[in-house]
């Protein structure tokens, strides 16, 4: 086994681990605990040598040495297999060579007879285990894993003037990404410890595209299914929350600016609103623990019913949140019955309920109330006088109520108020400006006050899913929002409010090869961007495919034969997704044979589709050959297409390519397609169409 290890180390750069052997390498973390434990046990045993009879010691020691040598070299070989799957980093190199050294040191113990030399080599091996374990933990958890909790003690004060990247974006990436993307462990050659290193990107290109969420690799990865091999963070690691993903998306869409802060954003900016929520949560976390007692559990349980939700914030907190539902079933008792726990209530939601001044007087007795939501109730400013006693109030939601600018008289006596929702009230734009000037420490949510701030609709969606269709298939469009009007064109022109109105599923002329262009329209909303859907004729499907290679196993594991005819066009912005793309190279080109039934169709055209990865700058396809015949063993070359190795302009040419091969019309049963990439390029194959 040690001889085999030496061979692997010598020819490491020329070895490619087959897919069926990769699971063995991935068992490395499981097996390595055996040599660690046995090396420690050997050290302890040799310390206790004088406490045992010599015969027993020699037998136990000999067995442990042999078993430790075996498990150590086994773990080392498996670790080497695992390292060949990923990218070589300084940290991995240190971990690998220390592991190799330990393996040979322990193997040396098998032949050493002198006690002093034996112990010296054993203790060196033990010290090596400590360092190898440290670097191995760094590969898994990051080099700062042990000291990270100590660093968190240094809390940086975050305010509205703090750059959004520094205060909100970087902490998310530090917590969820830096463990695998740092100077010592650069998975994918990507370092995410600073803004500059993130902008530089890794071997797969840029981490994000400023202003575009669809073209940003970071967002594509986090939105992949958890079980997908390219999902980030990997399955088993702590995942990003929906709120964190939304914040990252809005920051990138806003331009991914390193220095912009909350105060620099325009009023009602969606990124600003999201950052405000995160800032409020951070502020609330810094508040002192509650100084009131827990409510009795039986009192809390007795107050729960279908129209009233009563929840304790956490088992360790006495604070309670209450929501009362149902305008038609509301009765004042649903509120006043809370008197037994009113001291513990910190959040109260009464939206859309017929709350009156009497109810507000009861609410005024909730002295620990921090959040009060009264949206779309019929309350006026004078009904809120009793809130002046709620000195702990931090958030007050009055959207859709009848309050006016006199609300300032109440706001000024609420010392902890930091956020007020006043959109869709009688307070006009000028009065809002006065409120903001008078109370600069309070963030006023004012919504959209005029037609100049209309929201833009999202484009129509393709509900029929596949863009590979037959002439009898219908195309179904839709929109997430109700009462949206969908207009479309099929002649290549841009759609507008006078274009064809979508009412029922439609058919298109596949021979025209023109896309459907769609737009969404709705009153008081801005039109959506034009969404273009290009459809492909399904053509004739072969009975089955036979491939010489399933693809490059280090990048793709799956059925290339299915992918080539699955009627799913891959997204060229996520070209490394094994769900829609198969990867081939010069050594393992695409070599696929299609079988048709006895009554085979007269095929006159074959279309071969492939994609260009975002880091590829040159044309990857060198040649495409089509062989055909009536028998599998007697095929003849009927067409060959050759390409030149040239630079490509993706802005003009796009990232999705199709090679159309015209062939003599005949009823062949077998068609062999050979696609050979250039020497240094990878070919990302998507579909094969037969017409």
Residue 2 has pLDDT above 80, yes or no: yes
Does residue 450 carry a pLDDT above 70?
no
Residue 344 lies inside a defined structural domain of this protein: yes
Per-residue pLDDT of 459-470, as tens digits, reads: 998 887 678 888
Q: For residue 313, what is the domain's CATH number?
A: 3.80.10.10
Record the pTM: 0.39
The answer to whether residue 484 sits within a structural domain is: yes
High-pLDDT (> 70) share of the chain, %: 90
686 token code pair: 């998507």
Angle separating helix axes 54-83 and 33-47, nearest 10 degrees: 150
Place of tokens 């990270």: 148
Q: What is the pLDDT of residue 154?
A: 46
pLDDT at 407: 93
**Residue 645 sits in a domain of what CATH number?**
2.60.120.260
The predicted pLDDT at position 92 comes to 75
Nearest to 477 by CA among 501, 456, 512, 496: 501
Number of domains, the chain: 5
Residue 283's pLDDT is what?
A: 59
Q: Are residues 301 and 445 in the same domain?
A: yes
Q: Distance between CA 562 and CA 546 in Å, rounded?
A: 10
- Is the pLDDT at 155 greater than 80? The verdict is no
Model confidence band, residue 153 (pLDDT cutoffs 50, 70, 90): very low
443 or 576, higher pLDDT: 443
Separation between Cα atoms, residue 541 and residue 470, nearest integer Å: 11
pLDDT at 142: 57
The CB density around residue 153, as the number of other CB atoms within 10 Å, is 6
Residue 149 lies in a domain: no
How confident is the model over 654-676, as pLDDT tens digits? 788 889 999 988 888 999 999 99
Determine the pLDDT at residue 620: 93
In this structure, of 119-128, 155-164, 208-217, 476-485, the range with the lowest mean pLDDT score is 155-164
The predicted model gives 602-613 an average pLDDT of 89
Q: Do 329 and 368 fall within a single domain? A: yes
In this structure, are 615 and 579 located in the same domain? yes
Tens of pLDDT along 620-650? Answer: 999 999 999 988 889 999 999 999 999 988 7
pLDDT, tens only, 523-568: 878 899 999 988 888 888 888 888 888 877 545 445 677 788 777 7
| pLDDT bracket for residue 288 (50, 70, 90) | very low
Provide the pLDDT for residue 240.
87
pLDDT digits (tens, 9 = 90+) for 186-230: 677 788 888 888 888 887 778 888 888 877 888 888 888 877 778
Please name the residue that has the structure tokens 């009023």. 267
Q: For residue 300, which of 316, 312, 290 has the smallest C-alpha distance?
A: 312
Same domain? For 120 and 238 the reply is no
Return mean pLDDT, the chain: 84
If asked whether residues 322 and 442 sit together in one domain, one would say yes
Last residue of a domain, one of 285, 316, 346: 285
Residue 146 counted as domain residue? no
| pLDDT over 90 percentage in the chain | 25
Q: What is the pLDDT of residue 485?
A: 93
What is each CA distance from 534 to 376, 516, 562, 611, in whole angstroms? 45, 6, 22, 16
Tokens of 3: 């001889």
In this structure, the strands spanning 395-397 and 371-373 are parallel
Q: What span, in angstroms and rounded, lies between the C-alpha atoms of 551 and 16?
A: 13
- pLDDT, average across residues 439-452: 70
Q: Provide the β-strand partners of residue 317.
A: 314
- Domain boundary at 84, 109, 141, which? 141
Place of tokens 């579909």: 687
Per-residue confidence band for 264, with pLDDT thresholds at 50, 70 and 90: confident
Given the structure tokens 């990107």, which residue do they identify?
A: 201
- Which residue's structure tokens are 């990302």? 684
**Residue with more model confidence, 331 or 262:** 331
What's 526's domain CATH number? 2.60.40
CB atoms within 10 A of CB 588: 17
- What pLDDT, in 10s, does the model give residues 27-43? 777 787 788 888 888 88
Kindly indicate the confidence band of residue 303, based on its pLDDT and cuts at 50, 70 and 90: very high
Contact assessment for residue 509 and residue 475, using Cβ atoms and an 8 Å cutoff? no
The b/e string for 417-443 (b: 16+ C-beta within 10 A; e otherwise) is: bbbbbbbbbebeeebbeebeeebeeeb
Provide the domain limits for residue 280.
Answer: 164-285
Q: pLDDT (tens digit, 9 = 90+) per residue, 222-253?
A: 888 877 778 888 877 788 888 888 899 899 98
pLDDT tens per residue, range 350-386: 988 999 888 999 999 999 999 999 998 989 999 999 9
């Amino acid at each position: 086994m040690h001889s085999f290890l030496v061979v692997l180390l010598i020819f490491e750069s020329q070895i490619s681990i087959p897919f069926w052997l990769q699971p063995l390498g991935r068992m490395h973390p499981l097996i390595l605990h055996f040599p660690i434990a046995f090396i420690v046990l050997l050290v302890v045993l040799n310390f206790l040598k004088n406490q045992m009879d010599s015969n027993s010691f020699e037998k136990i020691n000999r067995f442990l040495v042999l078993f430790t040598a075996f498990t150590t070299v086994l773990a080392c070989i498996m670790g080497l297999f695992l390292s060949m799957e990923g990218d070589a980093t300084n940290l991995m190199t240190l971990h690998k060579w220390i592991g190799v050294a330990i393996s040979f040191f322990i193997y040396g113990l098998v032949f050493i007879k002198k006690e002093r030399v034996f112990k010296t080599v054993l203790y060196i091996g033990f010290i090596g285990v400590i360092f190898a374990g440290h670097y191995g933990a760094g590969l898994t958890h990051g080099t700062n894993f042990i000291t990270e909790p100590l660093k968190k003690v240094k809390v940086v004060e975050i305010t509205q003037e703090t750059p959004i990247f520094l205060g909100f974006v970087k902490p998310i990436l530090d917590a969820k990404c830096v463990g695998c993307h740092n100077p010592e462990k650069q998975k994918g050659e990507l370092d995410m410890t600073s803004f500059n290193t993130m902008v530089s990107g890794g071997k797969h290109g840029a981490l994000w595209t400023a202003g575009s969420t669809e073209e940003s690799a970071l967002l594509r990865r986090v939105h992949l299914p958890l079980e997908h091999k390219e999902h980030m963070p990997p399955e088993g690691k702590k995942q990003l929350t929906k709120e964190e993903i939304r914040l990252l998306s809005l920051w990138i869409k806003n331009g991914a600016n390193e220095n912009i802060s909350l105060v620099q954003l325009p009023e009602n900016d969606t990124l600003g609103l999201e950052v405000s929520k995160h800032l409020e949560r951070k502020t609330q976390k810094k508040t002192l623990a509650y100084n009131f007692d827990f409510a009795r559990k039986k009192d809390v349980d007795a107050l729960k019913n279908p129209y009233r939700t009563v929840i304790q914030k956490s088992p360790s907190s006495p604070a309670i949140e209450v929501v009362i539902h149902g305008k038609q079933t509301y009765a004042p008792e649903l509120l006043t019955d809370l008197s037994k726990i009113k001291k513990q209530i910190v959040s109260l939601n009464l939206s859309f309920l017929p709350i009156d001044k009497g109810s507000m007087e009861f609410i005024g007795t909730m002295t620990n109330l921090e959040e009060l939501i009264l949206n779309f109730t019929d309350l006026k400013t004078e009904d809120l006088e009793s809130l002046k006693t709620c000195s702990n109030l931090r958030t007050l939601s009055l959207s859709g109520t009848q309050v006016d600018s006199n609300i300032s008289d109440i706001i000024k006596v609420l010392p902890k108020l930091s956020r007020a929702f006043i959109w869709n009230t009688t307070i006009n734009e000028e009065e809002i400006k006065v409120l903001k000037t008078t109370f600069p420490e309070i963030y006023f949510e004012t919504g959209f006050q005029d037609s100049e701030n209309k929201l833009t609709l999202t484009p129509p969606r393709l509900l029929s899913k596949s863009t590979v269709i037959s002439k009898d298939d219908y195309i179904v469009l839709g929109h997430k929002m109700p009462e949206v009007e969908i207009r479309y064109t099929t002649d290549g022109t841009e759609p507008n409010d006078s274009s064809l109105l979508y009412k029922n599923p439609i058919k298109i002329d596949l021979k025209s090869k023109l896309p459907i262009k769609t737009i969404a329209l709705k009153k008081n909303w801005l039109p959506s961007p034009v969404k273009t859907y290009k459809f492909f004729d399904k053509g004739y499907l072969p009975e089955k495919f036979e491939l010489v290679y399933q693809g490059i196993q280090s990048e793709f594991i799956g059925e290339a034969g299915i992918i080539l005819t699955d009627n799913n066009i891959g997204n060229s912005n996520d070209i490394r997704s094994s769900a829609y793309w198969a990867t081939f190279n010069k050594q393992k080109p695409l070599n696929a044979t299609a079988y048709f039934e006895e009554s085979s169709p007269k095929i006159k055209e074959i279309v071969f589709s492939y994609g260009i990865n975002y880091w590829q700058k040159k044309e990857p396809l060198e040649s495409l050959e089509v062989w055909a015949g009536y028998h599998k063993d007697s095929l003849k070359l009927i067409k060959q297409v050759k390409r030149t190795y040239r630079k490509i302009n993706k802005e003009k040419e796009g990232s999705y390519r199709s090679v159309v091969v015209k062939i003599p019309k005949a009823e062949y049963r077998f068609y062999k397609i050979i696609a050979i990439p250039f020497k240094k390029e990878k070919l990302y194959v998507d579909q094969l169409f037969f017409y």
